[in-house]
Amino acid sequence: MFVVMTVGASEAEILGVKSQILAEGLTPFDHVGAGRTTIAVVGEIGSRKPALLERFERLPGVASVTPISRPFKLTSREFHPEDTVIRVLDAVIGDGSLTMMAGPCSVESREQLFETADAVKAAGATILRGGAFKPRTSPYAFQGLGIQGLRFLAEARERTGLPVITEVMEPSQVDIVAEYADILQIGTRNMQNYSLLRDVGRVARPVMLKRGYGATIEEWLMAAEYIVSSGNPNVILCERGIRTFETYTRNTFDLAAVPLLDRLTHLPVIVDPSHATGKRWLVKPLALGGIAVGADGVMVEVHPRPDDALSDAEQQLTLEQFRDMMDAIVPLHAYVRGIYTASP
Among 124, 135, 171, 259, binds ligand PEP (CB under 6 A): 135
Q: Which residue's CB is nearer to Mn ion, number 108 or number 312?
A: 312
- By beta-carbon proximity to Mn ion, the closer residue of 250 and 333 is 250
- Residues 204-233 touching ligand PEP, rule: CB under 6 A, are 210
Please give the Cα distance from 295 to 269 (Å, whole number). Answer: 6
User: Is residue 319 within the footprint of Mn ion (CB under 5 A)?
Assistant: no
Q: Nearest distance from residue 131's CB to ligand PEP, in Å?
A: 4
How does strand 99-103 pair with strand 127-129?
parallel
Q: Is 275 in the site for ligand PEP (CB under 6 A)?
A: yes
Residue 240: contacted member of ligand PEP, Mn ion, none (CB under 5 to 8 Å, by partner type): ligand PEP
Beta strands across the sheet bearing 36-42: 27-33, 36-42, 2-5, 62-66
Among candidate residues 159, 163, 177, the one with its CA nearest the CA of residue 115: 159
Asked whether 169 and 193 are in contact (CB, 8 A), the reply is no
Residue 167 near which of Mn ion, ligand PEP, none (CB within 5-8 Å, type-dependent): ligand PEP
Instruction: Give one word for 14, left, alpha or beta, with left for phi > 0 and alpha for psi -120 to 50.
Output: alpha
**Residue 295, burial from CB neighbour count under 10 angstroms (0-12, 13-18, 19+):** buried
- Residue 99 as a binder of ligand PEP (CB under 6 A): the answer is no
Residues 293-312 that bind Mn ion (CB under 5 A): 312
Residue 100, interface with Mn ion (CB under 5 A)?
no
Q: Between the CA of residue 16 and those of 5, 20, 44, 61, 62, what are the distances in Å? A: 11, 6, 21, 9, 10
- Told to check if 201 binds ligand PEP by CB under 6 A, we report no
205 contact choice in Mn ion, ligand PEP, none (CB below 5 to 8 Å, kind-dependent): none
Asked whether the beta carbons of 6 and 63 are under 8 A apart, the reply is yes
Q: Angle at Cα 116 formed by Cα 322 and Cα 157, nearest 5°?
A: 120
Residue 104 β-bridge partners: none
Asked if 103 interacts with ligand PEP (CB under 6 A), we say no
Residue nearest to ligand PEP (CB): 187
Residue spans of beta strands (DSSP E) within 81-136: 86-88, 91-93, 99-103, 127-129
Cα atoms in the Cβ-side hemisphere of radius 13 Å centred on 163: 23
| Min dist. Cβ of residue 255 to ligand PEP (A) | 16
Query: What is the identity of the amino acid at 280?
Result: R
Please report how close the Cβ of residue 312 comes to ligand PEP at its closest, in angstroms: 8
Regarding 187 and contact with ligand PEP (CB under 6 A), the answer is yes
Binds ligand PEP by CB under 6 A, chosen from 131, 149, 201, 297 = 131
Among 105, 162, 209, 227, binds Mn ion (CB under 5 A): 105
Question: Which lies closer to Mn ion via its Cβ, residue 105 or residue 291?
Answer: 105
Interatomic CA distance for residues 129 and 105, integer angstroms = 8
Residue placing its CB nearer to Mn ion in the complex, 36 or 189: 189
Q: Are strands 127-129 and 164-167 parallel, antiparallel or unpaired?
A: parallel
Q: Which is nearer to Mn ion, 103 or 294 (CB)?
A: 103
108 lies in the site for Mn ion, by CB under 5 A: no
Tell me which residues touch ligand PEP (CB under 6 A): 105, 131, 135, 167, 187-188, 210, 240, 275
Tell me which residues touch Mn ion (CB under 5 A): 105, 312
